[in-house]
């Protein structure tokens, strides 16, 4: 997604979500320089920013950063070293304030170009946490495309009443990716605005190619990243927001629109809901389970990740051999 994207740019992303206790000082009170330092550790920088009453949102040279009072979600692509950002990010809150940490790496097209492997990152995170939290690692999916996930939660940590949808797409239709070029900006904006109505969007078109957009609405955020490449094109989408309201409807609409527009050869859908599956008072990730026309389920997995109920669904086109 970088302005210096090469023919072998790595679209599949790494993701870090850190949540702190509700009585910790607000992360949004930190100056911009503190976040620049976190991003520099990962090898990313801010391209543009926006904010509302709930979130500070940043489009980055490599994907996005979202900061609320007590959580931060950092998504980076390319050859970024996201694990290096964890220590400076944790330092922005008091010791002992950590509630939950999620760290994911999507299977890369060019793993040999990455500075570390997932198992090395997981060992680094475990050492940083120093036994302060329950932790585990899991691989979601199988075959060529998968997600490696490290998750940790502090004993007795409060559960966040939010839900998250991720849609990860390998080998999207080249014509669909071309629609997100700068010279076709009005059409791209209209497509995203129709898919997630009511979100205030801010976009960036990269040179020579690539598109990122963040959106904010009523405590929710959305982000879409399109990485067209001669080989290894990739598209990712994320929607997060508080429980209730129109979010499940937004999620179903987004999955249907994304699959129809991009027609990827590989589609993975992840949903996170608070409370482990079947747990008392826990919303079910299954509420966001969707059937995708033209696609068949390869695998559907339930996991518990940092006290979230996680539903992972891997799909392929029904007509594929």
What is the 3-state composition of the chain as percent helix, strand, coil, each rounded to the nearest 5? Answer: 25, 40, 40
**Does residue 5 register a pLDDT over 80?**
no
Place of tokens 């009585």: 23
The predicted model gives 44-69 an average pLDDT of 98
- Burial label for 50, CB within 10 Å (0-12, 13-18, 19+), is middle
pLDDT of residue 285: 63
Note the pTM of the prediction, 2 decimals: 0.94
pLDDT in tens, 133-162: 999 999 999 899 999 999 999 987 776 789
8 vs 128 pLDDT, higher one: 128
pLDDT in tens, 217-265: 999 999 999 999 988 999 999 999 998 788 888 999 999 999 999 999 9
To the query of whether residue 10 is one of the catalytic residues in this protein, the response is yes
Provide the H-helix boundaries in 220-281: 247-262
Among the listed residues 77, 145, 153, 229, the single catalytic one is: 77
DSSP letters spanning 30-43: S-HHHHHHHHHHHT
**pLDDT > 90 fraction of the chain, expressed in percent and rounded:** 82
pLDDT of residue 7: 56
Place of tokens 């996201």: 82
Among the listed residues 54, 145, 151, 225, the single catalytic one is: 225
To the query of whether residue 212 is one of the catalytic residues in this protein, the response is yes
Among the listed residues 10, 166, 203, 268, the single catalytic one is: 10
The predicted model gives 194-223 an average pLDDT of 96
Among the listed residues 64, 107, 153, 212, the single catalytic one is: 212
Is the sign of the CA dihedral 108, 252, 209, 215 positive or negative? Answer: negative
Q: How far apart are CA 237 and CA 121, in angstroms?
A: 23
DSSP letters spanning 60-78: ETTEEEEE-SSEEEEEE-T
Cβ proximity of 144 and 234 under 8 Å = no
Q: How far apart are CA 121 and CA 304, in angstroms?
A: 20
- If you ran DSSP here, which 8-state letter would residue 282 be given? P
To the query of whether residue 158 is one of the catalytic residues in this protein, the response is no
**Average per-residue pLDDT in the chain?**
92
Q: Domain 14-317 belongs to what topology?
A: 3.60.90
Among the listed residues 63, 233, 259, 266, the single catalytic one is: 63
pLDDT in tens, 17-26: 999 999 999 9
Q: What residue segments make up the domains of the chain, in order of their start?
A: 14-317
Element (H, E) at 292: none
To the query of whether residue 126 is one of the catalytic residues in this protein, the response is no
């Amino acid at each position: 997604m970088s302005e210096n994207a090469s023919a072998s740019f790595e679209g599949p992303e790494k993701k870090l979500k850190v949540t702190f206790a509700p009585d910790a000082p607000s992360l949004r009170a930190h100056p911009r320089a503190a976040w620049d330092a976190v991003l520099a550790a990962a090898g990313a920088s801010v391209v543009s920013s926006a904010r509302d009453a709930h979130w500070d949102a940043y489009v980055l040279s490599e994907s996005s950063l979202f900061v609320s009072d007590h959580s931060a979600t950092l998504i980076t692509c390319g050859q970024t070293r996201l694990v290096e950002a964890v220590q400076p990010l944790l330092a922005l809150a008091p010791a002992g304030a950590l509630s939950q940490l999620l760290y994911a790496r999507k299977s890369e097209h060019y793993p040999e170009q990455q500075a570390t492997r997932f198992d090395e990152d997981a060992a680094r995170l475990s050492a940083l946490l120093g036994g302060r939290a329950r932790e585990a690692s899991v691989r979601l999916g199988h075959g060529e495309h998968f997600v490696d996930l490290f998750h940790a939660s502090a004993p007795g940590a409060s559960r966040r009443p939010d839900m998250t949808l991720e849609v990860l797409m390998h080998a999207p239709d080249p014509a669909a990716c071309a629609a997100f070029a700068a010279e076709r900006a009005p059409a791209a904006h209209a497509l995203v605005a129709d898919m997630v109505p009511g979100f205030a969007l801010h976009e960036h078109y990269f040179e020579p190619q690539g598109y990122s957009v963040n959106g904010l609405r009523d405590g929710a955020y959305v982000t879409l990243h399109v990485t067209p490449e001669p080989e290894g094109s990739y598209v990712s989408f994320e929607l997060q927001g508080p429980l209730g309201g129109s979010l499940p409807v937004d999620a179903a609409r987004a999955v249907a629109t994304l699959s129809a527009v991009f027609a990827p050869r590989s589609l993975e859908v992840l949903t996170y809901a608070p409370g482990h599956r079947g747990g008392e008072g826990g919303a079910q990730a299954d509420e966001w389970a969707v059937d995708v026309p033209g696609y068949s389920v390869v695998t559907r997995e339930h996991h518990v990740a940092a006290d979230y109920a996680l539903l992972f669904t891997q799909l392929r086109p029904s007509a594929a051999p």
